[in-house]
Structure 1
Amino acid sequence: METVQRTLDVHPWKITTSTLDKENRRLHESITSIGNGYMGMRGNFEEYYSADHHLGTYLAGVWYPDKTRVGWWKNGYPDYYGKVINAVNFIALDLFVNSTQVDLASCSYEDFYVELNMYDGILYRQFTVSIGNTKVKFSFERFVSITKKELACITMEAEVLEGQAEIYVISKLDNNVQNEDSNYKEMFWQERNKKVTNTASFLTTQTIENDFDVEQFVVTSSMKHNLAPIKIRKEPLSISHEFEFSLATGEITRLEKEVVVVTSRDIPEEKQVDQAQVLLQSFGSDFSALKAEHSEAWHKRWELADVLIEGDDAAQQGIRFNLFQLFSTYYGDDERLNIGPKGFTGEKYGGATYWDTEAFAVPLYLALAEPKVPKNLLRYRHNQLPQAYYNADKQGLKGALYPMVTFNGIECHNEWEITFEEIHRNGSIAYAIYNYTNYTGDTSYLKNEGLEVLVAISRFWADRVHYSQRNNAYMIHGVTGPNEYENNVNNNWYTNKIATWALQYTLDSYQKYKTEATVELTEDEQKTWQDIINRMYFPTDEKLGIFVQHDTFLDKDLMVKDQLSAEELPLSQHWSWDHILRSCFIKQADVLHGLYYFGDQYTLEEKTRNFNFYEPMTVHESSLSACVHAILAAEIGNADKALEMYERTARLDLDNYNNDTDDGLHITSMTGSWLAIVQGFAQMKTFNETLSFAPLLPKTWQSYAFHINYRNRLLFVKVTADTVELQLIKGDPLTLKVYQERYTLTDDLTIKSKSD
């Protein structure tokens, strides 16, 4: 029922267009974003562009605490709302031809082309402008290095096709930037220093003061060029290098710009300029060598991460695009960082950390990165355990409550139904510890830091439940489940499930490792927790054979999404919030998320009944929704629905399914396309210390193949209509199951496919 907006070309390794689509400029800026885990930017033009667009450059870990502005202040509200802030625009190259500024919103142009090459990690662009009797072709290349994190490189080439051209270029470091998400006219930056040497310029700025004792970040950006400027101009929050070229027909000039950015997260202010100088010098000025090194590093990443799909170029482009943007956002190099839902592509959601990381990103990084990468994600939460205690205490509760939204561990989300009530996120922090331990076989984290986190989370759950004498059961009231289209419900099945599971996993782990543990549980605590586990209330309906989403869900006017008109979707953009909350429509997997997490605890019949009941009411207006449904649909044998959900999660942004990609990509949900293939179509499971597969092949595909790391082994899996091929590329022999049959993988194994 949704309208798919396919405005860019389909290509297995590239995102391209030959059209400057002014109506979709923001959308295309989002999709052509680039980053390197340290910094990144939207696909903005280097030159001035006067029509509607969203200029955005972002630096990892650099943010601002803004006062929470609500008129209904309640005790326990966060003191501030954290937000990523737009940073220095260092790609700026204002262009003039014969004294006329090049502006594609107003100039006559032709041969426009944009290409994001995902295999090489390079953004290309070109166009030809006609000004009077002169035609000039401009070409650009841009990348942010994944081998030298502080480095960005931009090139501009101008070729005169007709006439004489006096070309003037103003290359800038421009910190006169504002945010698009809120506080539209507020400046978050103040100037600290400027410095110009014979070879480079340096601009140092600092975030403005705040009222919350959060550090003010200092950033120094620097630039040098392959040519000497004719003039250097200093203006507030800006430095410009100006260049002039006089070219005849057939002549070409090329300007190369090298940028280095350092922040106070790593370098104190007084040393930043010196460090930037050292880096500029050590990186060298050979653009071709820097580009080749960067691209070779991307090729190395693709050797492990690539998923090869034969027979469907749109599906192939979708998974590669998502993996490219994920690894452009996070590759595990800094345990102080996490994965923001928008990455470096926009400001929505404040650029902060959500439960998305533990629920959806950890499984991918377990398989496609070294073990230290997911372990860094776990350490991120352990490092913020004191803040989680603070969050719980602010609600008047014991234990630790991990935040829904954060930069530093302190909750900084200002919607009460999220901050106070969407507490199921606490369970996903615990689940990630289980997931890491179960997948890798490494118990070192669980025994130490992990148990500290688990005990703190369990103490929260034990205090948050209440005992109902009337029902002789424990309950959890006043929550928002994963389905955010319902708030303040009682006994959300998934929340009750994740709470009791966390308590049980903590008890089991404590008993197993208590002699090594750094935390102690009293006998009374253990007894109380076990009682909660034994007597937790779960809403069910025996007639329907389902787990009920919450106490009063079945009292709603139940209808399926197919009864909605296309004009009503997405509901979030057409219905009032009151209308949404009273409806039966589900934003994302709720009960089904529990069946996904704990798949070994439920029968195929239970999964099928619940899927067939809830999915028809699910509008999938969360970017996190489609992948869970794809995985469960594949498991219950609904191959068509699994493929539909894969296509949605793989091309959510490329095809703008929810009409909301113009303000940034859905980075954390991009793991969903990989999960849909590996845990969905291939049915990879790791329950009970056993790796297993039960692959099916989507009917429109000829084959698919992928690598995974698993317990110090590297495996390759390929699925065709006839066979399932497994290769042990590295590591010791492995006993696993395929279609429930046990095999020992020593090198290569080929099994007849049961895709039919």
Structure 2
Amino acid sequence: MHDLIKNGTLWTLKEVGTDSEQIRQNETLFSLSNGHIGTRGSLEERHRTQAYSHSDSTLMNGFYDTEPITYGEWAYGYATHHQTTIPVPDAKKLDLSLDDELFDLETGKVDHHSRTLDLKSGLLTRTFSWENSKQQSIDVTIERFVSYDFPEILAQRIIIESEKDDLPVQLLFELDELEDMGKKESAEDDPDPRKKEQAERRFDSRPLSTDSGRMIHISTHASDLHAVIYDHVVSRFEQVSLERIENKVTASFQTDRSAPVIIDRFTAYSHKYSNEEDTDSQAENLKEIMSEVETLGYDEVKMRHLLFMDEFWDKSDIELEGDQALQIGLRFNLFHLHQAAGRDGHTNMSAKGLTGEGYEGHYFWDTEMYMFPFFLYTQPKIAKSLLMYRHSILPQARERARTMAIDNGALFAWRTINGEEASPYYPAGTAQIHINADIAHAVYDYGKVSEDEAFMFNEGLDILVETARFWLEWGHFDDERDGAFVLNDVTGPDEYTAIVNNNFYTNLMAKKNLSYAIEYAQKAQEQAADKLEELHVTEDELEDWKKAESRLFLPYDEEKELTMQDDSFFHKKVWDFEHTPEENYPLLLNYHPLTIYKHQVCKQADTVLAEFLFFDDFEMEQLKRDYDYYEKVTTHDSSLSRSVFGMMASQIGKHEKAYDYFMDTVLMDISDLQSNTKDGVHAANMGGTWMSIVQGFAGMRFNDGTLYLTPHCPKEWGSLSFKVQVKDRLIQVMLTPSSTEYTLLEGEPIIIVENGEKIQL
């Protein structure tokens, strides 16, 4: 059992001691965020050595800078600019001195050092005792959280206690003192293409006037984004002297053994990034927020935060009896999913959330296909906000389609922040046009589960129509295949097989995308005719969609009785897995792309993912044959892979395999299974763990307005319990190895179907 779990409880992860490697490793795991701001779980000492930190960044969702992408050889339509979420001034830093001696873990004597992440409350608490060279000692507690009621606010409380009176203590707080980023492990030292280390500060700052606290305006170097940060230190104790000099605040006091000294710090990060002319309004808004926060006080702001977290867990928790490690792993993953989601309709979810700089803070298909289901069935308002972000970047998607010589429709960027394509490697980027259908699939599911017709006949219809139009122009009817509609030169989810014809996943998803657009366009003829007219959808266009949908080519090998991943996959030599050293995985870091592309080898679930999503469209024996074949050639070099194979294993009766895959997914970040947790959590895998429980072990599906379940609770567990929201109902599901129980907690009566049998709730 991992030490963090062994030292903790069913709701906490606890780090004990001062081992530098342990503290560095836990820096990602202890990150706190709220969808707007995120700060990594690093130590507070401003001056600590690199040995204790990989990257102590604080990030704002959607606050990024750009720089031109340098190509050795350029071609038309390549992505032009990097977009990189950049670290901003880190307001958790401080200096602690006792009788003019500066604290750090390598001087004096440090005892009882521990840090605890409380998942139920969203609090990170650090405690320790420190004795300086003069044998003077103090006990220190530092607590931090990011508020959901005030999404701009990072709150901290520092408590100093001593068994002796009159020990001189000083705390120095500095807002705009970003460490020399060149000290970090540089990109030159680590060629991993999944991350892009930043070697320099990417913003300029200037102070703004304020009556109390410290306020600065920051502006990016190239993207022309502007934000305001307001830092305020508060003490209710008379003996504490607060001195402000420029951007620094010093709190000085003498200890009193009869009572601890408490100092609170609130830092507000502006929520909207605007042009320079809006800086004054941002500043005024933060002043109002800070005034309210200071009036309420730390305890009340914290109490509201705790109530918010209680509400989240009440509807989103998964309770698992019989395995402490899995229970804490599940809650850890749900906690970070909840933290990662943008909630304002203008931001989304990075592949690393706000826990690190891996993948430059980009948004991928990960959101819709792996993380979205969790929000759809537990927090539908957030699900809608994530879709509203996609709608907000439709103009950029239309422009990208034009760049790709598509005159009608839209192509969403494979990786992006601002809606423009930012992937410099098009075979594994732009060519993954399945992202259009992934987004359309999320829109369709949201409409069915939420019954939010106002969204579906406005923003939803915009997305469904524009993505459907794209397929008609990208593909064509192939006379050599009896007029089948084909999609050539694409890359599916498996990035070890690039630029192929008729990727099964892409073609099936495009077929569904067209059917979704047809369904809602036909409904709109009766319910939203004005919207159809606005979109210029004609009867002729609808007929074109129907024709393409009905003839979409799905490759299949009749002789092998196997679904073909693409036209060429079975014609390639199988990768020599037997003679590939363990240290050569992931393959992408050790072999040229062309070496990989010419083999039968999969980075992650591709055909198996398509079949899992539309399980009811296939015969059971077909699913089993395909699963057995593709499992043998899949490396799971992507963190997105194991959960899919585990869920499919549940559905086809391979229960031991399902359990083994689940064990890998649920503890992936805590155990550092992929060896890169330091760069941020694997948010898509975290979504995959929720799906593994609800759509895997419980077998939940929502089709044609009905909730279906085919439950199987692993024999290793005593029970499994979770809740889902469907059509304004809140339903609790309880499974044991020998029984099932369903309870309608909120909403009108509903009929569900378990293993073909109707059950009235």
| Partners of 1:493 and 1:549 within 8 A in 2 | yes
Per mean C-alpha deviation after superposition, the further-off stretch among 275-284 and 735-744 is 275-284
- Counterparts of 1:180-579 in structure 2, within 5 Å, are 182=196, 184-195=198-209, 197=211, 199-208=212-221, 210=222, 214-226=223-235, 229-234=241-246, 239-247=247-255, 252-265=260-273, 268-283=278-293, 284=295, 286-330=297-341, 333-369=343-379, 371-398=380-407, 399-472=409-482, 473-515=484-526, 516-517=528-529, 518=531, 519-558=535-574, 565-579=581-595
| Counterpart selection for 1:616 from 628, 632, 636 | 632
Equivalent in the alignment of 2:100: 99
> TM-score of the superposition, structure 1-length normalised?
0.91
Give the distance between the partners of 1:230 and 1:509, measured in 2 at CA: 62
Q: 1:563 to 1:442 in 2, by over 3 A?
A: farther
| Partners of 2:60 and 2:88 within 8 A in 1 | yes
- The Cα of 1:165 is off from its aligned counterpart by 4.5
- Counterparts of 1:16-95 in structure 2, within 5 Å, are 16-48=14-46, 49-52=48-51, 53=53, 54-95=55-96
Q: 1:183 to 1:67 in 2, by over 3 A?
A: farther
Give the distance between the partners of 1:257 and 1:425, measured in 2 at CA: 42
For 1:362, the aligned partner's letter is F
User: SS in structure 1 opposite 2:327?
Assistant: helix
Q: 1:155 to 1:460 in 2, by over 3 A?
A: same
Q: Describe the superposition over 1:260-304 as per-residue Cα deviations: whole angstroms up to 9, x where unpaired.
A: 222443893113333333222212263222222211221121111
Give the distance between the partners of 1:426 and 1:353, measured in 2 at CA: 14
For 2:306, the aligned partner's letter is S
User: SS in structure 2 opposite 1:174?
Assistant: coil
For 1:204, the aligned partner's letter is H
For 2:118, the aligned partner's letter is N
Per mean C-alpha deviation after superposition, the further-off stretch among 222-231 and 630-639 is 222-231
Q: Describe the superposition over 1:560-609 as per-residue Cα deviations: whole angstroms up to 9, x where unpaired.
A: 86775543334344555454434433222100111122122112222111
For 1:243, the aligned partner's letter is A
| Partners of 1:561 and 1:616 within 8 A in 2 | no
- The Cα of 1:177 is off from its aligned counterpart by 5.2
| Counterpart selection for 2:158 from 150, 156, 159 | 156
Give the distance between the partners of 1:705 and 1:562, measured in 2 at CA: 41
Give the distance between the partners of 1:387 and 1:318, measured in 2 at CA: 38
Q: 1:375 to 1:194 in 2, by over 3 A?
A: closer
Give the distance between the partners of 1:638 and 1:453, measured in 2 at CA: 37
Number of aligned positions between the proteins: 731
Give the distance between the partners of 1:719 and 1:592, measured in 2 at CA: 26
For 1:16, the aligned partner's letter is K
Q: Describe the superposition over 1:179-227 as per-residue Cα deviations: whole angstroms up to 9, x where unpaired.
A: 6664633322212324353x4222222222x2xxx54222222212216
| Partners of 1:360 and 1:669 within 8 A in 2 | yes
| Partners of 1:682 and 1:695 within 8 A in 2 | yes
User: SS in structure 2 opposite 1:491?
Assistant: coil
For 1:257, the aligned partner's letter is R
Q: 1:563 to 1:436 in 2, by over 3 A?
A: farther
| Partners of 2:204 and 2:218 within 8 A in 1 | yes
Q: Describe the superposition over 1:311-360 as per-residue Cα deviations: whole angstroms up to 9, x where unpaired.
A: 01111111111111111222x64111211111211111121221112112
Q: 1:521 to 1:258 in 2, by over 3 A?
A: closer
- The Cα of 1:427 is off from its aligned counterpart by 0.8
- The Cα of 1:173 is off from its aligned counterpart by 0.9
Give the distance between the partners of 1:73 and 1:729, measured in 2 at CA: 58
| Counterpart selection for 2:685 from 666, 669, 681 | 669
Q: Does 1:14 align with 2:16?
A: no
Give the distance between the partners of 1:689 and 1:251, measured in 2 at CA: 61
Unaligned stretches of 5+ residues in structure 1: 746-756
Q: 1:575 to 1:125 in 2, by over 3 A?
A: farther
Per mean C-alpha deviation after superposition, the further-off stretch among 722-731 and 164-173 is 164-173
| Counterpart selection for 2:749 from 730, 733, 754 | 733
Give the distance between the partners of 2:614 and 2:371, measured in 1 at CA: 17
Q: 1:100 to 1:613 in 2, by over 3 A?
A: same
> TM-score of the superposition, structure 2-length normalised?
0.90
Give the distance between the partners of 1:348 and 1:460, measured in 2 at CA: 31
| Partners of 1:136 and 1:158 within 8 A in 2 | yes
Q: Does 1:171 align with 2:170?
A: no
Identity of aligned residues (%): 29
Unaligned stretches of 5+ residues in structure 2: 185-194
Give the distance between the partners of 1:5 and 1:75, measured in 2 at CA: 50
Give the distance between the partners of 1:455 and 1:443, measured in 2 at CA: 16
User: SS in structure 1 opposite 2:209?
Assistant: strand
- The Cα of 1:6 is off from its aligned counterpart by 6.4
| Partners of 2:12 and 2:116 within 8 A in 1 | yes
- The Cα of 1:99 is off from its aligned counterpart by 2.9
Q: Describe the superposition over 1:348-393 as per-residue Cα deviations: whole angstroms up to 9, x where unpaired.
A: 1121221112112222112101x43322222222222221110111
Give the distance between the partners of 2:578 and 2:232, measured in 1 at CA: 55
Per mean C-alpha deviation after superposition, the further-off stretch among 613-622 and 5-14 is 5-14
| Partners of 1:65 and 1:83 within 8 A in 2 | yes
For 2:418, the aligned partner's letter is N
User: SS in structure 2 opposite 1:406?
Assistant: coil
Give the distance between the partners of 1:623 and 1:653, measured in 2 at CA: 10
User: SS in structure 2 opposite 1:620?
Assistant: coil
Q: 1:573 to 1:79 in 2, by over 3 A?
A: closer
For 1:373, the aligned partner's letter is I
Q: 1:167 to 1:256 in 2, by over 3 A?
A: same
User: SS in structure 2 opposite 1:341?
Assistant: coil
| Partners of 1:29 and 1:44 within 8 A in 2 | yes
Give the distance between the partners of 2:271 and 2:315, measured in 1 at CA: 31
Q: 1:245 to 1:448 in 2, by over 3 A?
A: closer
| Partners of 1:223 and 1:259 within 8 A in 2 | yes
Give the distance between the partners of 1:363 and 1:159, measured in 2 at CA: 46
User: SS in structure 1 opposite 2:218?
Assistant: strand
Give the distance between the partners of 1:643 and 1:736, measured in 2 at CA: 26
Query: Could you say what the CA RMSD is over the residues aligned between the two structures, in angstroms?
Result: 2.5
- The Cα of 1:686 is off from its aligned counterpart by 1.0
Per mean C-alpha deviation after superposition, the further-off stretch among 697-706 and 256-265 is 256-265
Give the distance between the partners of 1:136 and 1:572, measured in 2 at CA: 50
Give the distance between the partners of 1:272 and 1:169, measured in 2 at CA: 29
| Partners of 1:343 and 1:351 within 8 A in 2 | yes
| Partners of 1:561 and 1:619 within 8 A in 2 | no
Q: 1:417 to 1:118 in 2, by over 3 A?
A: same
| Partners of 1:220 and 1:263 within 8 A in 2 | no
- The Cα of 1:250 is off from its aligned counterpart by 8.1
| Partners of 1:134 and 1:163 within 8 A in 2 | no
Q: 1:335 to 1:230 in 2, by over 3 A?
A: closer
Give the distance between the partners of 2:4 and 2:732, measured in 1 at CA: 34
Give the distance between the partners of 1:582 and 1:544, measured in 2 at CA: 20
